[in-house]
Amino acid sequence: MKEVVAHRSAGMDYERTTDTDELTEWERADGHATIRLRERADGRFAVRYDQLHQADGGRAYAYETVETRAAAEELVADWQADPPA
């Protein structure tokens, strides 16, 4: 099930494209960036931003780990509003 969320990046929406117990991923409306949230084996949460070479700003990548899912979801919202790279 795809869900458009209200967060914007440079005027672009993100759509939730994957949502399972292990992984949630959002794709930017232009298809040139994704944000992925997943729980690691150690119980921490990883958030990854990946922007393709074809994007206006070129290739970009960021990765952070946080202690809780709530902190990870907050990081996702921050990166949707203001990309980290």
What pLDDT does residue 53 have?
75
What's at 2, amino acid-wise? Answer: K
On whether the CB atoms of residues 8 and 23 are closer than 8 A, the answer is: no
What's at 14, amino acid-wise? Answer: Y
- Write out pLDDT tens, residues 13-25: 999 999 998 899 9
Q: Is 12 helix (H, G, I), strand (E, B) or coil?
A: strand
Q: Is 35 helix (H, G, I), strand (E, B) or coil?
A: strand
- Write out pLDDT tens, residues 38-50: 999 999 999 999 9
- Write out pLDDT tens, residues 55-68: 666 778 999 999 99
**Partners of 20 in the beta sheet?**
none
Q: Is the pTM above the cut of 0.95? A: no
Q: What are the residue ranges spanned by the domains of the chain?
A: 3-81
What pLDDT does residue 8 have?
43
